[in-house]
Amino acid sequence: MESLVIKGGSSLKGQVKVSGAKNAILPIMAASLLSAGEVVLSGVPDLEDIKVMSDALTILGARIKREADSLVFDGRYIQSCELPENISRKMRASNLVMGALLARFGFAKIAYSGGCAIGSRPVDLHLKGFNNLGYKVYEKGGFMVGEGKPRMGREILLDFPSVGATENLIMAASTIPGITIIRNAAREPEIIDLQNFLNRMGAKIRGAGLDLIRIEGVKQFGGINHVVIPDRIEAGTFMIAAAITRGDVFIENVANEHIQPLAAKLREIGVEIMPTSTGLRVIGSRCLRPTDFKTMPYPGFPTDMQPQTMALLSTIKGTSVVVETIFENRYMHVPELRRMGAEIKVEGRVAIIKGKDQLEGASVEASDLRAGAALILAGLFAGGETRITNLRHIDRGYENIHLKLKSIGADIQRKL
């Protein structure tokens, strides 16, 4: 079985470059379905999730080719609006094609993406939102089916600022005549990137990044070139790699504003973070302090950085407390970190961490994407050898993370 083998203990030093944001690329790829022209996306890493989305779009009839770090998308030949179970089960984000298909063709049939390791992850907010926009959406034989051509924009309110629902509803509303207002929208930077992408294709959307988004429907979308924003979660993972190894790393291609929720917390515990015009220098001091945090929708502390930050707190003497408010089952990394000697107690959504100045390498398994990242980070700190298996989760969201970490001094190898 393929594994990552890490010999911990080296302080990381040097420069590492962040790739384009997976969570911006996936909705933007779905939004490409709106265009009957050629769309070129640049800054696209080679990730499993992106391959799954490419497969999904290809099944619908899109023609996609990769040229270096770009994806070239031709949506002229879309001939199907139905996504079968074998593809939608592979990735929850495949349900993002529903909004674009409804907006362009007035019909979509998507197999349920099913459960996921970090919680039940329902799509009720997406479905309620489509219905509130004026589409007719119902469940049939394991599929979500949507149809209709709403005649007028409406005002809708999300019960919770779901990232995926906000993105899906922006796309679904983009062709509805008149003005659609989405209240209590998610404010993540990836939603701003989606808005920018759509507007450059011809949409009329304002407000992404705020909790009220205003969409004026348009009839047609053209082709464009778009460079995706840097991945704030990959950047955050490298920030913690510098902190946990008490290293000194320059991280290139970072949007300083997007990493503020994490940077503020890391500064609080004593990590030095110095932004420059081209990136971010991060220095992990030897005397870091414990802390408490709660995951929240953006601009709160990102749930996608919770496991990695917990790995760091496990190496800082004193008691830290983490509250996970976004996903009900996002502590799958805890038993694995415990195998490495971490002292973490979980009660419901609360985790109490008694930090130590030593962890020991062990054989551990990545249960999901960010849990995998947390284990890599713990392995960089731990004495002895850490062997991580189930790499398919890590490959979903990190491009060659072992090579990037190796380039800044980590002793890490990918073995068959």
Query: 316-335 mask for ligand UD1 (x: CB under 6 A)?
Result: ----------xx--------
Between 24 and 312, whose beta carbon lies closer to ligand UD1?
A: 24
Q: How far is the CB of 281 from ligand UD1 (least distance, A)?
A: 26
Size of the site for ligand UD1 (CB under 6 A): 22
Q: Which residues contact 116 (CB under 8 A, 6 or more apart)?
A: 92, 368
Residue type, 383: G
Token code pair at residue 100:
């674009």
Stretch that binds ligand UD1, among 68-76, 114-122, 343-351, 372-380 (CB under 6 A): 114-122
Based on the residue annotation, tell me whether 81 is a catalytic residue of this protein. Answer: no
Helix (H, G, I), strand (E, B) or coil at 42: strand
Between 23 and 308, whose beta carbon lies closer to ligand UD1?
A: 23
DSSP states of 98-134 as a string?
Answer: HHHHHHHHSEEEEE----BTTB----HHHHHHHHHHT
Asked if residues 108 and 141 have their Cβ atoms less than 8 Å apart, the reply is: no
Q: How far is the CB of 298 from ligand UD1 (least distance, A)?
A: 7
Q: How far is the CB of 393 from ligand UD1 (least distance, A)?
A: 12
Q: How far is CA 381 from CA 31, 303, 329, 360, in A?
A: 41, 22, 25, 9
Stretch that binds ligand UD1, among 119-127, 222-230, 264-272, 355-363 (CB under 6 A): 119-127
Q: What pairing do the DSSP bridges indicate for beta strands 272-275 and 225-227?
A: unpaired
CB atoms within 10 A of CB 10: 17
By CB under 6 A, residue 125 contacts ligand UD1: yes
By CB under 6 A, residue 402 contacts ligand UD1: no
Footprint on residues 89-108 left by ligand UD1 (CB under 6 A): 92-93
Between 14 and 122, whose beta carbon lies closer to ligand UD1?
A: 122
Between 74 and 190, whose beta carbon lies closer to ligand UD1?
A: 190
Between 74 and 395, whose beta carbon lies closer to ligand UD1?
A: 395
As a residue count, the chain comes to 416
Q: Pick the catalytic residue from 116, 157, 210, 274.
A: 116
Query: 210-249 mask for ligand UD1 (x: CB under 6 A)?
Result: ----------------------------------------
Token code pair at residue 242:
């510098």
Task: Tell me phi and psi for residue 315, to 5 degrees.
Answer: -105, 10
3 state SS for 280-338: EEEECCCCCCCCEEEECCCCCECHHHHHHHHHHHCCCCEEEEEECCCCCCCCCHHHHHH
Distance in angstroms (rounded) separating the CA atoms of residues 85 and 101: 17
List the helix and strand counts (H, then E) for the chain. Answer: 14, 24
Q: How far is the CB of 191 from ligand UD1 (least distance, A)?
A: 9
By CB under 6 A, residue 193 contacts ligand UD1: no
Q: How far is the CB of 67 from ligand UD1 (least distance, A)?
A: 24
Task: Tell me phi and psi for residue 364, to 5 degrees.
Answer: -135, 165
Q: How far is the CB of 123 from ligand UD1 (least distance, A)?
A: 4
Q: How far is CA 180 from CA 29, 74, 149, 154, in A?
A: 22, 28, 14, 5
Angle among Cα 94, 201, 124 to the nearest 5 degrees reads 30
Query: 38-77 mask for ligand UD1 (x: CB under 6 A)?
Result: ----------------------------------------
Stretch that binds ligand UD1, among 57-65, 76-84, 118-126, 234-242 (CB under 6 A): 118-126
Q: How far is the CB of 21 from ligand UD1 (least distance, A)?
A: 9
Q: Is the dihedral of CA 233, 400, 359, 249 positive or negative?
A: negative
Footprint on residues 149-178 left by ligand UD1 (CB under 6 A): 160, 162-165
Stretch that binds ligand UD1, among 6-14, 115-123, 343-351, 405-413 (CB under 6 A): 115-123
Between 104 and 370, whose beta carbon lies closer to ligand UD1?
A: 370
Token code pair at residue 207:
């407000």
Q: How far is the CB of 125 from ligand UD1 (least distance, A)?
A: 3
Asked if residues 312 and 238 have their Cβ atoms less than 8 Å apart, the reply is: no
* Site residues (vs ligand UD1, CB under 6 A): 23, 26, 92-93, 119, 121-126, 160, 162-165, 186, 190, 303-304, 326-327
- Active-site positions read 116
